[in-house]
Structure 1
């Protein structure tokens, strides 16, 4: 079980945040839609202003809103979220086993395995793991919110699995076409797509 496990090419880069995307600085203050937080939404700034605003509106976690409010997620805040998530799971008889390189996570099953997904989703929401964790992960691998199709294409070119003139338009077309049949792709292309989904700019590799 994991929040952000990426297993097919059609799930990577484009639409990583469910359609939220784009680059650029500036603030974003949005009207609150029905069913979302009924309080004021902060004026977010930076490359992910729009995504912060949307995530703030969508989460029901006061902790997550407090973390998101300044448009920054620190390592300490992420660690605190993990503690809350771990404690929530433990209270339901589930052991948190940590994060995977792709941003997903592993847990033990619930005492009643059929309840595992629902209980994990509940803890993910109440602890802020879904909101804080997803934004933290995406900002680590693409801190400037560069166009996902562009960096995805560049990553595949660097990996040597597509021609040198392969661009964002090609990537978008393939992402909606041949990449959908992920298992039918050549092994080297599958491996490159997985790698590029986890670390398109090579940032995580440089930190190792």
Structure 2
């Protein structure tokens, strides 16, 4: 049996890879950018969001006509129960398309089983996009990931640079400006496949998030 582990990407991450993209999922160790939510599909009134992620909640709300997803987003929070319900819809949709997936973490991390060929990977990628959209999973888990790892929506360059220094993979002189420059060309003075950088991607503020 072939098992493919994928993890939810941070809002900071980078060059798009041809991988499974529900919640911008990526193989462990890969570097990817969070895929934008598909174009606006809802043109009705939206709630008056006001928190640190008000714009992101509004964008997600506009991106779908799904009533359950609207109900969840209207609270301006995504609880464990909300995530479990939508994740379950996604898993069921994937099963109906012939792919077994298991949700492993709180923000898009999952395991996909039995993908022995590139052709299967292409089909899974297409199914992942369809199911992620149909279930509301794309809209919710990328935003949930941001809420968990950076609840106050602090500047990503600042918190990632500080984390790199804290993890001792960058010098004390490394700044947000340096990180912004390096991320532009994906050229860093440290390994982006290291465990330390992975910790910064998942938990830049050092909140000891369970992943």
**Cα distance between partner residues in 2 of 1:102 and 1:48:** 16
Correspondence 1:64 to 2:69: yes
* 1:126 alignment counterpart: 134
Q: Which structure carries more strand by proportion?
A: 2
**Structure 2 vs 1, CA of residues 154 and 181 (structure 1 numbering), >3 Å: closer, same or farther?**
closer
- The gaps in structure 1 that reach 5 residues or longer are 21-33
**Structure 2 vs 1, CA of residues 176 and 190 (structure 1 numbering), >3 Å: closer, same or farther?**
farther
Correspondence 1:51 to 2:63: no
Determine which structure has more spread, i.e. the larger CA radius of gyration. Answer: 1
Correspondence 1:91 to 2:96: yes
Q: What whole-Å deviation, never above 9, does each CA across 1:14-44 have from its counterpart, x for those lacking one?
A: xx575x9xxxxxxxxxxxxx85202111111
Q: Which structure carries more helix by proportion?
A: 1
Aligned residues: 183
- The gaps in structure 2 that reach 5 residues or longer are 1-19
**Structure 2 vs 1, CA of residues 102 and 158 (structure 1 numbering), >3 Å: closer, same or farther?**
farther
Shift of the alpha carbon at 1:175?
Answer: 1.2
Scaled by the length of structure 1, the TM-score of the pair is 0.75
Q: Does structure 2 retain, via aligned residues, the 8 Å contact 1:96–1:106?
A: yes
Equivalent position SS for 1:89: helix
Give the alignment partner of residue 163 of structure 1, picking from 165, 168, 171: 171
RMSD: 2.9
* 1:142 alignment counterpart: 150
